[in-house]
A and B are shown apart, each in its own frame.
Chain A
Amino acid sequence: MLSIKNLHATVHGKEILQGVDLEIGAGEVHAIMGPNGSGKSTLSYVLSGREGYEVTEGEVVYNGKNLLELEVHERAAEGIFLAFQYPVEIPGVSSMNFLRTSLNSIRRYRGEEEISAVDFLKLVRATAKSLEMDDKLLQRPVNVGFSGGEKKRNEVLQMSLLEPSLAVLDETDSGLDIDALKAVADGVNALRAPDRSSLVITHYQRLLSYIVPDFVHVLADGKIAASGDKELALELEKNGYAMLGLEDTEAA
């Protein structure tokens, strides 16, 4: 599904990713852990095509396509979804208009019919309900005045509506209370399917006991420093990054 080879990327002239190799197969859940500033969010931005994140070397092939050639919105329409570490507030843009424009843009790209206003409303209500999210929030502009946890739930709501084939979740668990964490994990698990994969960026083992990963990787200094199965996350939780010979900046 996703094949990253020797990926180097710079931000403002500074090399952040220094040769990332990662293979994600269909239906797999991969977790990425790693110290602050190691490049986890940078990797997620490079995958989604954010301006200013320049790939200097390497390749990313997604479902047989050269991902790096696609525009941001095309990547989304091809099934890549990024749940932001810091979701953006957009005053003046109504949540419902945003969600509907998003869903219909993706449907149009795929040659599918647009969703009707009535069906859309039903779909959003049902999805919000399944995530235990108050749909009154959606009467506000996008993320405006949402609490940290509400913003994260809103990311998962969008993911559930768009049904991506590759979901990249960047610290979607941070700042969540236990109930919210469970709701978020349920949302991710509900999407699990043989043709869908996810890349879960997290600092905490806690999330991984709800979303059980097939593989766990440690990103350090812009490279994958270690890979293993879910046991690796447990060991890291116990011993910190020092066990990999890395400086432990996490007060885990």
Chain B
Amino acid sequence: MTSSVQPLTDPVVEKYRAQYAAKGSELPGSARDWVNSLRNQALSALSRNGLPTRRVESWKYTDLRNLHRAEFAAAAGAEVTAADLTPYKLEDAYVAVFVDGQYAPAFSDLGDLPEGLSFSSMADALALGNEELLADLGEAVDVELPGLGALNTALMQDGGVCRIADNVSVEKPIQLIFVSTENSSAEIHLRNLIGAGANSNATVMQSYVSLGASTGFCNVVTEAVLEQGANLRNVTHQVQSGTAWHIGLTSAQIKRDAHFESFVLSSGGRLSRNEIRVRLGGEGADCTLNGIALVRDRQHCDNTTDVDHAKSHCHSSQVYKNVLDDRSHTVFQGRVHVAPDAQKTDAHQMNRNLLLSRNAQADSKPELIIHADDVKCSHGATVGDLDQEALFYLQSRGIDAVTARNMMVQAFAAELVEAMPNDSIRSYLETAMSSWLETLNSVEEAA
């Protein structure tokens, strides 16, 4: 593939190169050769390939030009209190808090990690050169692919590193909360790394929240490596302010008989993208990728997935549901690639869109590339509005129009939340959905 950007003259790339040249020595791990070399390789990939434009197929519906035009300042570092964070903390979880892209142990609650679970901030791990904890760093992310993965690798500042030892089941979820402080306009490159040992079992939740309005940019990469028989659930809740930017890439390597489950609830950001790339690299591996986007105003939310069925007897299942109001825009691009010898593949994908406004737009693009013959693959997409008959039925039983509408929206999306086995995450997500509904337009305004 030839790239249509002229890499060396792209001013945005130049800006980042200059930034690295000036500030690279302040980035964590700059005393370690292997860290510098990882960053340098990524920077040269970025220089060669440029930043993604809409001419690149996987970025066809998401335009980053306004993001690149925006100006970002150094982290504002406004005051945060523990009480500000309470609404976002899971009950009964190990919690690590990051404020404007920096690990904040004072707000974190990692007191007594169970045996077999290790946690470190990415900044500390890089600075200490903890090669054991970071053994998989860069393993799952291909910096040559179009996206912001290379930029992230070059400039990564902080994030969470979790390692679950072989055969260890971590009962409580591990939550990483990334907070943007009020009025923050920082550009933050977060890098998370989750290593799930053989036959281990764990749930990680990532929450991206703004305390007040923020115009910052969060570029986050989460790498996950699942060893044989591992079970990892990764739940993401992105509820940054409606003026913020969020570009997320989750890249997972799934080995034999391992199971990866991802759930993304997005309702924040003027522009957000959750890209999930999964490589089912061992027989019997499987992944479930579900997501809900709740958008309004002129919000743009892109969910792009890429599942690579590299081996036989693997399963993948994807259900993405979007609820759109006002002039919002959602994108679902789901790509499934089945390798020639990936026989007995089972791959299903569904995207459903509920339009609460005539002016909203939902783009849906499935792409199945199948090179094996003994496979079961399906995909589908629907776009619809609320069932007026059902609304009337509810109202005729004394339920007001707004409550009736909210019940119908809940009904549309709730099955994905109800399926969440962890009680505290399920109730967290239910609350998040209700809060979004409460701030929706009244029915008259919406009509």
Residues of chain A at the chain B interface (Cβ within 8 Å) = 48-51, 71-73, 75-77, 81-82, 84, 87-93, 97-98, 101-103, 105-106, 109, 141-142, 158, 162
Contact = CB atoms under 8 A, between A and B. Distances in A.
A72 B403 contact: no
B408 A93 contact: yes
A48 B412 CA distance: 26
Interface stretch (B119-127, B141-149, B226-234, B391-399): B391-399
Nearest to A141: B411
Which 6 pairs between the two chains have the least Cβ-Cβ distance?
A: A92-B411, A76-B398, A102-B397, A72-B395, A106-B398, A88-B393
A82 B389 CA distance: 14
Contacts of B79: none
B392 A76 contact: no
B396 A76 contact: yes
Nearest to B414: A92
Contacts of A72: 392, 395-396, 401
Contact of B401 (A73, A84, A91, A101): A73
B81 to A, nearest CB: 35
Interface in B397-425: 397-401, 403-404, 407-408, 410-412, 414-415
B436 to A, nearest CB: 17
Interface in B374-396: 387-390, 392-396
Nearest to B392: A50
A109 B398 contact: yes
Contacts of B414: 92
29 contacts: A49-B396, A50-B396, A71-B400, A73-B396, A73-B401, A73-B404, A76-B396, A76-B397, A76-B398, A84-B396, A87-B393, A88-B390, A88-B392, A88-B393, A89-B390, A90-B387, A90-B394, A90-B408, A90-B411, A91-B411, A92-B410, A93-B408, A93-B410, A93-B411, A102-B394, A105-B399, A142-B393, A158-B397, A162-B397
B434 to A, nearest CB: 13
Nearest to A161: B397
A140 B407 CA distance: 15
A76 B390 contact: no
B220 to A, nearest CB: 32
Contacts of B415: 92
A102 B399 CA distance: 6
A75 B387 CA distance: 21
Contact of A73 (B387, B400, B411): B400
Interface string B414-444: 1100000000000000000000000000000
A73 B393 contact: no
Interface residues of B, number: 23
A84 B393 contact: yes
Given A51-B392, A101-B403, A101-B407, A92 B397 contact: no
Contacts of B393: 84, 87-88, 90, 142
A75 B397 CA distance: 9
A88 B386 CA distance: 13
Contacts of B396: 48-50, 72-73, 75-76, 81-82, 84
A75 B401 CA distance: 13
Contacts of A51: 388, 392
Contact of B399 (A49, A73, A84): A73
A102 B411 CA distance: 16
A98 B398 contact: no
Contacts of A162: 397-398
A109 B397 CA distance: 12
A93 B408 CA distance: 7
B407 A93 contact: yes
A151 B149 CA distance: 54
B399 A71 contact: no
B50 to A, nearest CB: 44
A51 B401 CA distance: 12
A111 to B, nearest CB: 14
Nearest to B411: A92
A87 B412 CA distance: 19
Given A71-B401, A73-B401, A105-B400, A90 B390 contact: yes
Interface in B52-101: none
Contacts of A73: 395-401, 404
Contacts of B401: 71-73
Considering residues A84, A87, A105, A109, which has the most beta carbons from chain B within 10 angstroms of its beta carbon?
A105
A27 to B, nearest CB: 23
Nearest to B390: A90
B292 to A, nearest CB: 13
Nearest to A92: B411
Contact of B389 (A49, A88, A158): A88
A106 B394 CA distance: 12
A82 B414 CA distance: 28
A88 B400 CA distance: 17
A93 B407 CA distance: 7
B31 to A, nearest CB: 55
Nearest to A48: B396
B134 to A, nearest CB: 44
Nearest to A50: B392
B411 A101 contact: no
A101 B414 CA distance: 17
Contacts of B388: 51
A88 B407 CA distance: 15
A101 B399 contact: yes
